[in-house]
Structure 1
């Protein structure tokens, strides 16, 4: 098996992806190269000097933030947002395409050596990200040129609007191209996986806006561009602090919220729904005979099973649902914003049943001292309770769901049971014993 940490494995990982993903990646990279070549022109000496200055600033920026950025990459492996956009966007607005591409190349080559490679990011992802930035930079420059260039003064409204539109299109092009690659790579990705969170996008827009200000400063008073570095470094630290806070609230084995973080978020949501008169539900799920898995295959294999169950749980619930690991082999889900009455009860049961069936269908591949094997027959019992039918606070509803969970265990396991205060659900399937 290839070592994923080796340079060769990271470089050749692209060819192990589905053919449609490889096609998208290569098409975007070819498009970026074609755009640069089509717009190439002989650079002037002042432009070369400006390109070297921007590249130097980007290197200084990366060196000052290397430790922070490495930690940020380790804490958020899937993040495609990069604060180096301040320099790539400034280069796009100020330089001809060939030199802008050269600056972007220097920025991302240095990032690869100092940040991405030590964080073991696959090489093809880094090259693809560089290509998306080249295309986004080309679009941004075209918009600014169409508006007559950078604003010449406060009265140049068209120039200001052109820069603002360039910022939005830069973000849009980059986001769409990255989302396309993710969409082809993953099965039914959530919108958060495709476009990132709201605060991630806000950070990207803020960084590019600073790039626009840096470009204007370089066009009039170049020395002022040094003032960009302090706020960018502060942004690095602010982002890292937020990600470390998220890491502290995440269960390391499953990637779900840990018990304390889940209760905090779920309590806040239940209070909101109580004030607005909305409905919600709590599911408590417990793996059946999980001790037998640990005893038979070892705790490391048990951890793999927990992670696989967590993945099916995330895939089986709705996007706004709040999912956590409550401890041991127990999981919890808050289903907010359900319909009132019987319709909400039906939604609760539908989600619970969908998750139960997904877990029961699991085939978990694990490695043991005796070689690889597949664990099957993993099942889960589910207890469900509704807000406000079974209680008005999170604690009350969890107690009701816990009683329903014990009823599911008594009834043979691998079933869903609803708290006594809930409306009856027809056609509850007969228990199926875990193998």
Structure 2
């Protein structure tokens, strides 16, 4: 189930959050408690036994996957999707709200002890996530009950439709509640920050579907539920491999794509644009006089400035634009799917100038031993080139953009220049 990512600073402690975020967190937790209390009918002994069985299955699952989940939890950059939904969703379908909430609490208490606390996740996040899952489970339970309960046979279309709707509602409730807090605690979060990536949500839905199958098995042939464990463990490993691949493609200092990963994605995108006879552009940006920042304030402050510039660049372009760190103080942006003709050229130039202006207006607050220091006066030189005007391959367009960057530097820095038929002097040896 979706959760907030690990903290980076102490500002993520509950009382350090913005007041509106604290209000939302406490309101959601109070709503979860009220929901459980309102559904507090005395459970049957059979339901209690089923709740205990689901809890045991969850514990076994977590113990078998603990090592993998600790690695995934530490590697998560934004939202994080654990795979406990297979048991919490099964509990939502099979049990009354109070017992389902008890199973969820037990599942997340065990996860906290074995995975989240070792990964140094704040307790208030764990409690909030548990509350969102309780409310999501309650919504799913209500839908299935309204549709007549679990399917009783192949012809029970309403039961199957009820489970399908319960899956969607379970995901929707949890995603909205988590996204609400991210919006209130983050500066300009992207869509992926709010809801996770496509792959993340696909894994989550697959896990919940396994939970639905587990519920149906427990309702008819309980022994078959053991068949859920092998595929869920394989899913753990598949998700870990994908997540580690993502980490390996990310620049550690800025969170952008590293040079190799950017070139892989860029090459693929430029080929697609060329085949479709579309238009794209490459911008290379180089921080002017960045060495002076490192020399004056140290490399740790320089790293903070790089991270701030990266965030500014990422927030100033479209979701589909590909932003990377090319090394040192150099960044690169690929703008695919631009309008054809003069309109595309105009948009390319507007984006380049907007990025230059955004960096020039930055004031980066950094922590130093002497207190908070604000770094200003930053600027970038920008070189740009277009596909297919300046080249049909990524390498050709990069060379053209790099030549334009050289001109921007030569003409005085803090400028934008675009590819033109110019001859770049070759430096003489010894100079």
TM-score by length of 1: 0.92
The offset of 1:5, in angstroms, is 9.2
Query: Gapped runs of 5+ residues in structure 2?
Result: 1-6, 423-431
1:229 equivalent in alignment to 2:242: no
SS at match of 2:13: helix
Match of 1:287 in 2: 287
Aligned-partner Cα distance in 1 for 2:54–2:190:
37
Match of 1:162 in 2: 162
Query: Gapped runs of 5+ residues in structure 1?
Result: 423-435
Match of 1:362 in 2: 362
Match of 1:312 in 2: 312
Match of 1:102 in 2: 102
SS at match of 1:280: strand
Residues 64-117 of structure 1 deviation map (CA, whole Å, 9 limit, x = unaligned)? 111100100111142232200000000011111111000000011111111111
Match of 2:137 in 1: 137
2:79–2:194 CA contact under 8 A, matched in 1 = no
Match of 2:255 in 1: 255
Match of 1:112 in 2: 112
1:186 equivalent in alignment to 2:186: yes
Aligned-partner Cα distance in 2 for 1:246–1:383:
28
Aligned-partner Cα distance in 2 for 1:126–1:347:
44
Aligned-partner Cα distance in 2 for 1:139–1:202:
20
Match of 2:274 in 1: 274
Match of 2:425 in 1: none
Aligned-partner Cα distance in 2 for 1:421–1:195:
45
1:390–1:421 CA contact under 8 A, matched in 2 = no
SS at match of 2:175: helix
Aligned-partner Cα distance in 1 for 2:220–2:76:
38
1:404 equivalent in alignment to 2:404: yes
Matches within 5 A, 1:11-410: 13-410=13-410
SS at match of 1:362: coil
The offset of 1:345, in angstroms, is 1.3
SS at match of 1:207: helix
Aligned-partner Cα distance in 1 for 2:122–2:412:
46
Aligned-partner Cα distance in 1 for 2:317–2:293:
25
The offset of 1:14, in angstroms, is 1.4
Aligned-partner Cα distance in 1 for 2:375–2:61:
49
Aligned-partner Cα distance in 1 for 2:13–2:288:
37
User: How many residue pairs were aligned?
Assistant: 416
SS at match of 1:254: coil
SS at match of 2:128: helix
SS at match of 1:326: strand
Aligned-partner Cα distance in 2 for 1:58–1:201:
21
2:79–2:193 CA contact under 8 A, matched in 1 = no
Aligned-partner Cα distance in 1 for 2:304–2:181:
27
Would the alpha carbon gap of residues 335 and 421 (structure 1) be closer, same or farther in structure 2, given more than 3 Å must change? Answer: farther
TM-score by length of 2: 0.93
